[in-house]
Amino acid sequence: MTVLAQALDAAVDTPRVDWLAIAPETVLFGAAVAIVLGRALARRRPLVDEASFLTALVGVVAAGVFTFVQWVVVDGDGPYQAIAGMVAVDGFAVFVRTVVLIATFLGLLLSAGYLRREGLEAPEYHALMLCSATGMMLMASANDLIVVFLALEILSIALYVLVAFDRRRVTSQEAGLKYFLLGSFSSAVLLYGIALVYGGTGTTNLTRIARFLAGTTLLEEGVLLTGLVLMLVGLGFKVAAAPFHMWAPDVYQGSPTPVVSFMGGATKAAAFAAILRVYAGAFELYRVDWRPAVWALAVLSLVVGSVAALVQTDVKRMLAYSSVAHAGYVLIGVQVGNEAGTTAALYYVMAYTLMVFGAFAVVTVVGRRGDRRHELADYRGLAGAQPVLAALLTLFLLAQAGVPLTGGFVAKLSVFDAAVDAGQYWLALVGMLAAAVSAFVYLRIVLAMYAPEDDGPAVAARPVRVDLAAAVALAIAAAGVLFLGLLPDVVLDFARDATQLLAAGGRAGA
């Protein structure tokens, strides 16, 4: 029998591809490829920049439309799994995708003026940002550890390049290299953990892992537990949880500021999506084992993040350490491990994405050409020269501190509420103390802005200019933060529905 005849004999049943399930990622990636092709084929530069910007925006909006269609389907018919159980289409995925798309949309708007100001290559930047967002979207719906790993690599490798994008600044290159080396190391640790979990359960599919653990009692759990710990290390690195946060200050300080405003929230959203789906979903039965590890991560992140932020003088570094603390608050929600905890964690991620975007957006425009005026002294008297920008930064910082009427307050409240309900008084107490300490950090920046300018050097020599796209992005972020604070129920209900649909999806399975 010839090889060909043999091949025809053994026809392969390829799985049915549900295009709706993967439509948002496909559209985003398609836009990225279109931008790269357009860049390669087109001749006139300025036109290419504008066209790639528009293509990227259209791609994000189209992905948003498909995500909304997914929500309608999931809300009506319940969650389901597609493409051989690799993709989970559930409310949880829709929620995280929404967060990622908001961050990408705002990030693109903010970057337009920045790229022009710094004279950077816009098409490549947009394509890499869309690729990174594709990875985050894949992560949101990944129902298999292999897809989790691939999605993490996709989002990270694009980010390594974006961080090093401004090659004329040594700090940007250094940040890119540091992020790349430490990130590859953490990816290897995650992969090692996945391999051990596969060894322990015989599958990488999260639904099948849950089913296997429900039906089997393992006499010796050493391999499985080691795998769980190593995976937590790998994912903890991505959310910048202490003690795996070492990269965050240098990377946040060195990379182009719009990149930080995009990755700060979106990367955390994607990585927390994986943590929640793997730990609170597939390994729900092993809660007793992983909760202490997450508890330790949460407490360390809260303490290290808030205390280390106190001694910084660079605003980007301050915000980097505060992002470590914010990872701690979300980890409180993860640690609680029930529906309320997951809901609170999701809400926190949404609020944090808007707050951190807004704060870094103001830092972007205040940094001026060269992206280097980020010392606290550079903010002295900003309120006099730029009252609107100063007021906006104040709003975003107060939201991060958790002041009432902002999204940050409701986010912190719901996380602490979930912890107290589950009897985790100490964790809630540490969280509240950390919130008090970090409030001081944010107030330092606010006070610097409203301080009289006379005793410092004349910093406003070169005026701060805000282009239209960045102004729109700032307005959207500010409106979002206020909306989350004044009418939290809309998003809280969304997060709660999303969590319930996750739970249902995890149990039914395909």
- The residues of the shown chain that bind other proteins, judged by CB under 8 A, are 6, 10, 12-15, 17, 22, 29, 32-33, 36, 83-87, 117-119, 121, 124, 127-128, 131, 134-135, 138, 144, 146-147, 150-151, 153-154, 157-158, 160-161, 164-165, 167-169, 176, 199-203, 212, 216, 218-224, 369-370, 461-462
* Sequence-separated (6 or more) residues with CB below 8 Å from residue 399: 351, 354, 355, 358, 406, 407, 408, 409, 481, 485
CB of 166 to other proteins, least distance (A): 9
Q: Is 166 exposed, middle or buried (0-12, 13-18, 19+ CB in 10 A)?
A: buried
| CA neighbor of 160 nearest in space, from 251, 76, 77, 241 | 251
Residue (161 or 481) nearer to other proteins, CB: 161
CB of 315 to other proteins, least distance (A): 18
As a whole number of angstroms, the distance between CA 234 and CA 297 comes to 13
CB of 443 to other proteins, least distance (A): 30
- Which ranges constitute the DSSP H helices of 368-406? 382-385, 387-401
Residue (153 or 421) nearer to other proteins, CB: 153
Residue (30 or 243) nearer to other proteins, CB: 30
- E strands along 46-162, which residues? 80-82, 87-89
CB of 2 to other proteins, least distance (A): 12
Residue (283 or 409) nearer to other proteins, CB: 283
Diameter over CA atoms, the chain: 91
Residue (64 or 123) nearer to other proteins, CB: 123
User: Letter for the amino acid at 164?
Assistant: A
Tell me, rounded to whole angstroms, the distance of Cα 336 from its chain centroid: 20
Residue (154 or 484) nearer to other proteins, CB: 154
Reply yes or no: is the peptide bond before residue 457 cis, omega within 30 of 0.
no
Residue (157 or 282) nearer to other proteins, CB: 157
CB of 150 to other proteins, least distance (A): 5
CB of 226 to other proteins, least distance (A): 9
As a whole number of angstroms, the distance between CA 37 and CA 146 comes to 29
CB of 473 to other proteins, least distance (A): 22
State the DSSP string of 179-228.
Answer: HHHHHHHHHHHHHHHHHHHHHHHS--BHHHHHHHHHH---S--HHHHHHH
